[in-house]
Amino acid sequence: MALIDIAAREIPEAGAPVLTLEELPGATGEGLAVFLPAGTAPEAVLPHLSRLALLLVEFPKFRDGRGFTLGRTLRERYGFQGDIRATGHIIPDQLSMLKQCGFTSVMTPQEHPPEQWRGLREPTQRQLLQRLLVK
Amino acid sequence: MGSTITANRLTDGVVIWRDAQGGWNPDQAQAALLEGDALAETLERARREDQNLAVDIREIPVEGRVPVEYRERLRAEGPSVRPDLLGKGHGWPAGPFPPLPSVSHSSPDAGVYRYDEADREFLRQRAAQFAQQTERRLKGELNEEEFKPLRLMNGLYLQLHGYMLRVAIPYGVLSATQLRQMAYVARHYDRCYGHFTTRQNIQFNWPRLVDTPEILRILAEADIHAIQTSGNCVRNVTTDHFAGAAADEVVDPRLYAEILRQYSTDHPEFTYLPRKFKIAITGSEEDRAAIRVHDIGLIARRDAAGEIGFEVHAGGGLGRTPIIATKLRDWLPARDLLRYVEAVLRVYNALGRRDNIYRARIKILIRDTKPEAFRQMVDDAFAALPADYAVLTDDLLAQVAERFHTPPFLTLPEAAPAFEAALVSDPGFADWVARNTHPHRVPGYICATITLKPAGGIPGDATAGEMELIAGLAERYSFGELRVSHEQNLVLPHMEKQALPALYAALREAGLAGANAGLATNIIACPGMDYCALATARSIPVAQRLSQHLAAREAEIGPLDLNISGCINACGQHHIGHIGLLGVDRNGEEVYQITLGGAADEKAAIGGIIGHSVPTAQVVGAVDAILDTYLARRDPGERFIDTYRRLGAAPFKEAVYGTH
């Protein structure tokens, strides 16, 4: 297991101990980190969002795409500014989608070490609609 | 009775057997017979050591060396409906191949979405991405479990005999050049034929994994792709096969279907949904796109001011739990289409079930949460989107619409003397016109259906030669434009009426002039157990026997939808056939459940099961009994489905099963 940023560069793991959702209400201070198991509703973290610096979004299986919606909702709808990290079973081919959904780091699984996340061929061109929508 | 160990070879999908030397052999006669501890140990070792050589490694029971299960015998021998392919080994043509059709053809007038160089480069990059993913799989960097969803998102399945590649024909619209490119793939990378499906796709049954990146690259040169034709993502958006041509059309749905296609392609949030997601759209009041049995179904309309909007349905579907969709909105302004679809998908992605594949479709979520509550959740998600997010402005719509060329229609007189004369002089032609054409919105033009349903043939199959011939006819007569219908037929959407006799003559010569659109032999059938790894019974042989038998009386019977599925997943859409057949396995015997009264149109209904399943040998007799009852009881001019709705199932049940 290693930590990479959204450009697949290895970064040091540091910071606050990771809390569970249950521990969160009792925790004090700022810059907290919380683990969000798959299926967590965004509303469960909303009251604490301003005190959080790191959200660990769980992917139990890479085929389970709930984390994409959770990350995107917290980033875009609720304006979370801190680090959103994917953790669990994810594959390198998902990095670009994680990025587009607001994720900023990935805890890489054992079988996919950081070097596998680099040098992947991916479309850089966008189809017409995407080009028109981002204008 | 012992067992053998079998698998498919990773690189090309060929069925292989574990031999006595511990290798893999495509010759079943070399399969080692194993039992007890030796079986368990060999299987365990094969799975541990050979996962980058072989896929789906498993044991199967055999007697002698013959597999006990019929499915496995089919798998060992090849599809029962293509004896001509048997014994041909596993050879693929070796190159070099001739230049691509897209080099010399361009179909400049066809009403397909026109790619620009960036659109095309996107497809090339997707093909290159899949090439790298394939390399990583072969190296073992990705295991099969991880690779499978990636190949599925590129349309590549592993089926009974090997890989199958499903290529999208977006909303059923294609150019002659694109059809030629598909024929090229069939000829050089497959076995010279393709199968058109009920979801406006084409399937190739014999591609190699190692060739697939190259096939995708070739398709990209003609602006075609296989993206999201499988997997738990938004699939090919389907529509009316007369879209943009039909006289009864209110709104041309192709523009919105194309926008939905681009929107959903590689969508970062919705590529790992709980299950697949199918969107259909129609722009006519007569629903030829079966929108009420889709995850989202859209009816495009104009309001009193002429503004375009949609009636939105969701949660329809067939399969194990057939459900007619719930209406979510009477009116959704066109500008909000993507925003609303996104809201539906967001609720579904967050809350759809992932613990049970059979309960994972959105129809189950809507049923379980209750439509009212679901509608509210969607409305909340919709309201929460930023006001400027993904709005389809008039300017944006105009820029996408510009990519669809309107064919250079001529101003033709209403009268078409050659056409009128042929109607009188040639009863066969008159019959074909009556069945296989649809009124066109431009005077002097007409839509013509080429059915891929010859009596005794394989529904939806076309050879590479037939594809090339039809592409040539499209170039000559229909501005190089074609459609694929959900009934597995091809359409020349813009025929000059005056040219119909010549088209008909050319089709007759090619054996493609079946006058059976909408009739009993226009059977919709899935590939069934002859090809499909999920099937529980064969579909094609039943379709062949029925079409052969019914050909002589179909004119008397009149309009009839007859659908056959080879398993409960219902790719043959048996639930919405007026007569539906579902093949199931009963202790090793193929038997068929009969449903009556299904319909796909604006009066969509799920057919009702009329009784116990009948053995394969009795299917033709049972259908005959149903049709005899209809003929005896119908009012003058009454269609089968209307007679059924008037009388109910009882007289038909009695005809099939007697009074006991």
Q: Which chain A residue's Cα is nearest to B389?
A: A133
pLDDT of residue B1: 78
Tell me how far CA of residue B569 lies from CA of B130, B526, B575, B614, in angstroms.
Answer: 28, 10, 10, 19
- Chain A CB contacts of B230 under 8 Å are none
CA dihedral (A43, A44, A49, A53) positive or negative: negative
Which of 19-38 (A) contact B at CB < 8 A? none
Per the prediction, chain B carries an average pLDDT of: 96
Q: Do A128 and B121 touch (CB under 8 A)?
A: no
Q: Which chain B residue's Cα is nearest to A133?
A: B390
Q: Which helix (H) or strand (E) holds B66?
A: strand B66-67
Distance to chain A for B265, nearest Cα, Å = 9
pLDDT digit string, tens, across residues B370-380: 999 999 999 99
Cα–Cα dist B324/B599, whole Å: 10
pLDDT of residue B91: 82
Cα–Cα dist B164/B13, whole Å: 9
Of A111, A123, A128, the CB nearest to B126: A123
Amino acid present at B100: L
Phi/psi of residue B654, nearest 5 degrees: -60, -40
Amino acid present at B78: G
pLDDT of residue B102: 98
Over residues B347-356, mean pLDDT: 96
Residue B643, pLDDT > 70, answer yes
Cα–Cα dist B562/B623, whole Å: 10
All CATH 3.30.413.10 domain ranges in chain B, comma separated:
238-393, 524-657
- Chain A CB contacts of B259 under 8 Å are 129
Question: Which two tokens mark B89?
Answer: 């080994």
Give the architecture-level CATH label for domain B112-220.
Alpha-Beta Complex (3.90)
Other beta carbons within 10 Å of B227: 26
Classify domain B238-393 at the CATH topology level. Answer: Sulfite Reductase Hemoprotein; domain 1 (3.30.413)
The DSSP 8-state label assigned to residue B249 in this structure reads B
pLDDT digit string, tens, across residues B224-262: 999 999 999 999 999 999 999 999 999 999 999 999 999
pLDDT digit string, tens, across residues B551-606: 999 999 999 999 999 999 999 999 999 999 999 999 999 999 999 999 998 899 99
C-beta separation of B126 from B225 below 8 A? yes
Distance to chain B for A89, nearest Cα, Å = 10
Cα–Cα dist A66/A73, whole Å: 11
Distance to chain B for A4, nearest Cα, Å = 18
3-state SS, residue B110: coil
All CATH 3.90.480.20 domain ranges in chain B, comma separated:
112-220
In sequence order, which ranges of chain A are alpha helices (DSSP H)?
A: 66-72, 95-100, 128-134
How many Å is the Cα radius of gyration of chain B? 25
C-beta separation of B300 from B271 below 8 A? no
Q: Do B268 and A131 touch (CB under 8 A)?
A: no
* pTM, 2 dp: 0.96
Alpha carbon B296 to its chain centroid, in Å, reads 17
pLDDT of residue B65: 85
A46 touches chain B (CB under 8 A): no
Of B116, B128, B232, the CB nearest to A128: B116
Tell me how far CA of residue B78 lies from CA of B245, B279, B459, B597, in angstroms.
Answer: 41, 34, 18, 35
Q: Does domain B524-657 have CATH number 3.30.413.10?
A: yes
Q: Mind listing the domains of chain A with CATH numbers?
A: 2-134 (3.20.20.70)
pLDDT of residue B87: 64
Q: Which chain B residue's Cα is nearest to A79?
A: B386
Cα–Cα dist B449/B471, whole Å: 14
pLDDT of residue B88: 61
Q: At what angle do helices B144-152 and B117-139 cross, to 10 degrees?
A: 160
Q: Which chain B residue's Cα is nearest to A126?
A: B122
pLDDT digit string, tens, across residues B597-609: 999 988 999 999 9
pLDDT of residue B338: 98
CA dihedral (B244, B527, B600, B329) positive or negative: negative
Question: Which two tokens mark A100?
Answer: 């587009």
List chain A residues with pLDDT less than 50.
none
User: Beta-strand (E) ranges in chain A?
Assistant: 2-5, 18-19, 32-36, 52-59, 83-88, 105-108
Cα–Cα dist B327/B17, whole Å: 51
Q: Do A133 and B349 touch (CB under 8 A)?
A: no
Distance to chain A for B529, nearest Cα, Å = 28
Over residues B49-54, mean pLDDT: 96
Phi/psi of residue B38, nearest 5 degrees: -60, -40
pLDDT of residue B390: 96
Best mutation target among B112, B262, B267 (most A Cβ atoms within 10 Å) is B262
Cα–Cα dist B17/A133, whole Å: 52
A109 touches chain B (CB under 8 A): no
Q: Do B122 and A131 touch (CB under 8 A)?
A: no
Q: Do B126 and A73 touch (CB under 8 A)?
A: no
Residue B660, pLDDT > 80, answer no
pLDDT of residue B174: 97
Reference B554, options B463, B633, B644, B453; nearest CA is B453
Of B149, B269, B399, the CB nearest to A68: B269
pLDDT of residue B89: 63
